[in-house]
Amino acid sequence: MPDVKKRIEIDSGFAAMIPPLTHEERQQLENNIVDLGGARDPLVVWARTGTLTLLDGHNRYEICTRLGLPFQLHEVQLKIGRAHV
């Protein structure tokens, strides 16, 4: 997993669209992740040549990365205009 973690990029535009969790919500999420030994739901990433841009799962990513817990990825391809990216 270390190689995958290095390829994940956080786009500030996408991150800004995510409503912040309250302290209680974040603590509950962290507790759940710890209890399960990792993230239950996969992180959604935009797969482009050589990069994975995180679209969904910013809080799970931060918690798992900080605590060294595993997570799965769901890669999506996005079409922009006529080009397939």
Each residue's pLDDT tens digit, 13-53: 888 998 999 999 999 999 999 999 999 999 999 988 778 99
Q: Which two tokens stand for residue 78?
A: 């996005």
Indicate whether 83 pLDDT > 80.
Answer: no
Inter-CA distances, 41 with 61, 65, 77, 80, Å: 11, 15, 19, 26
Amino acid 1: pLDDT: 46
Name the helix (H) or strand (E) containing 48.
Answer: strand 43-48
User: How would you class 57 by CB atoms within 10 Å of its CB: exposed for 0-12, middle for 13-18, buried for 19 or more?
Assistant: buried
pLDDT digits (tens, 9 = 90+) for 60-79: 999 999 999 999 999 998 87
Query: Which residues fall within 8 angstroms of residue 11, CB to CB, at 6 or more apart?
Result: 53, 54
